[in-house]
Amino acid sequence: MDRSFPSARSLPCLHVPHTWKHRHRRKEPPPMTTTPDAPAQTSVLPSTVLRTAYQKSVADYWNKEKDPVNLRLGDVDGLYHHHYGIGDYDPSALEGPEETRDARIIEELHRLESAQADVLLDHLGTVRPDQRLLDAGCGRGGSSIMANARFGCQVDGVSISQAQVDFANEQARKRGVADKVRYHFRNMLDTGLPTGAFQGIWNNESTMYVDLFELFAEHARQLAYGGRYVVITGCYNDVTGGRSKAVSRIDEHYTCNIHPRSAYFKAMAANGLVPMNVVDLTAATIPYWELRAQSSVATGVEDPFLTAYREGSFHYLLIAADRI
């Protein structure tokens, strides 16, 4: 581990539990076959969700994706995430019998993933059971399940991948929470979900696929006054003068477009979202990548992430903002 970075435990305002226990004109929302609050799942035409060639290519990528780094980690306890982890890993994951070493690493990587989701949920603040949350770019839905377990409220997730939506709804059904946790095939830039209906909205590593001004305008529309928006994202360091080679390799790997750090604050300010907490998670995520690089689920993108974080060209940030 590069000890030039502080331990995750030394970061202020960061709780990492060991376990989880523009500037644009609004488009008309896509037609809905049921109301947003109905128990039945909504159904929309792909052409109303996937409006550009890029969106179609991203959806196609995630519809086909069966990466072990997402599936094997989710198999540990049935919480399937599409994000990375934070916190120091338990060294015992690398010790003990060789035949069980990889299984221990997989379990530890998944623990760090869920710890990251818990930190995000911490920053949503107080949420009552009668309120509603939105997981924008929900992936296979693990964070939505965790939010419902914590707050007891209704949680909606949206994704442009029909395969992810179907998978996530099946997980909610298996857990017996399908009446409270529902996933929708929708575009998070224009969900068609009701105005002012959500106490909290989050993006967990999904903002690099969209225009931030459009995204935050839609979130501001959907949030209740005083509601909370939380994002965890990788962003490149404006001070270094553009994307580094390592950041460009991450973009290429995931077919995304990583934004500069400043773009988040500009787009929030333009849409009535006032940052309340900004937490630099960069040092806290490095152990996850160091451990993942030693696992059977390594994909080759570990080195660009570690290089970018260590050289300071890339930051891993949490921003919590209130809707005013």
Q: What confidence tens digit (pLDDT) does each residue in 227-236 have?
A: 999 999 999 9
Chain mean pLDDT for the chain: 89
The pTM assigned to this predicted structure is 0.87
What residue ranges in the chain does DSSP mark as E strands?
A: 132-136, 154-159, 181-185, 198-204, 223-236, 273-280, 314-323
Average pLDDT over residues 130-148: 97
Average pLDDT over residues 265-269: 98
215: enclosing H helix or E strand: helix 212-222
Burial profile 226-261: b = 16 or more Cβ within 10 angstroms, e = fewer: ebbbbbbbbbbbeeeeebbebbbbbeeebebebbbb
pLDDT band at 198 (very low <50, low <70, confident <90, very high): very high
pLDDT band at 43 (very low <50, low <70, confident <90, very high): low
| Pairwise CA distance, residues 62 & 52, whole Å | 16
Q: What confidence tens digit (pLDDT) does each residue in 71-83 have?
A: 999 999 999 999 9
pLDDT band at 210 (very low <50, low <70, confident <90, very high): very high
20 has pLDDT over 50: no
Compute and round to an integer the Cα radius of gyration of the chain.
Answer: 19
Average pLDDT over residues 185-202: 97
Q: What confidence tens digit (pLDDT) does each residue in 107-120 have?
A: 999 999 999 999 99
23 has pLDDT over 50: no
Average pLDDT over residues 288-303: 96
pLDDT for 3: 33
| Pairwise CA distance, residues 106 & 93, whole Å | 9
Average pLDDT over residues 196-201: 98
170 has pLDDT over 60: yes
